[in-house]
Amino acid sequence: MKLYRFLSEVDTSAFCHKVTEALNKGWELHGSPTQTWDHAAGVMRCGQAVTKEVTGTYTADTKLGAH
């Protein structure tokens, strides 16, 4: 099955570390990264979709971060 996650974080090195960790766990980038201004928090946020092929059957209880 193919899993999908959308990683997001404030635009700091924390975002890069989050994406790097996912890549090192076998996730692959899916599409382009995105940025948006969070008016409520007053910060820029980044996002990146990632996907991963794994064995098994998807259910709504699948823990995406555990893969």
Does the residue 9 lie in any domain? Answer: yes
Does the residue 67 lie in any domain? Answer: no
pLDDT at 2 over 80: yes
Say whether 21 sits in a helix, a strand or coil: helix
Comparison of pLDDT for 57 and 26, the residue scoring more: 26
Does the residue 42 lie in any domain? Answer: yes
Comparison of pLDDT for 31 and 62, the residue scoring more: 31
Does the residue 50 lie in any domain? Answer: yes
E-strand stretches of 1-67: 2-10, 28-38, 43-53
Gyration radius of the chain over CA positions:
13
Tokens of 36: 């948006």
C-alpha to C-alpha distance for 15 and 27, rounded to whole angstroms: 15
Does the residue 63 lie in any domain? Answer: no
pLDDT digits (tens, 9 = 90+) for 15-38: 999 999 999 999 999 999 999 999
C-alpha to C-alpha distance for 63 and 45, rounded to whole angstroms: 24
Domain containing residue 37: 2-55
pTM value?
A: 0.86
Does the residue 22 lie in any domain? Answer: yes
In the chain, the number of structural domains is 1
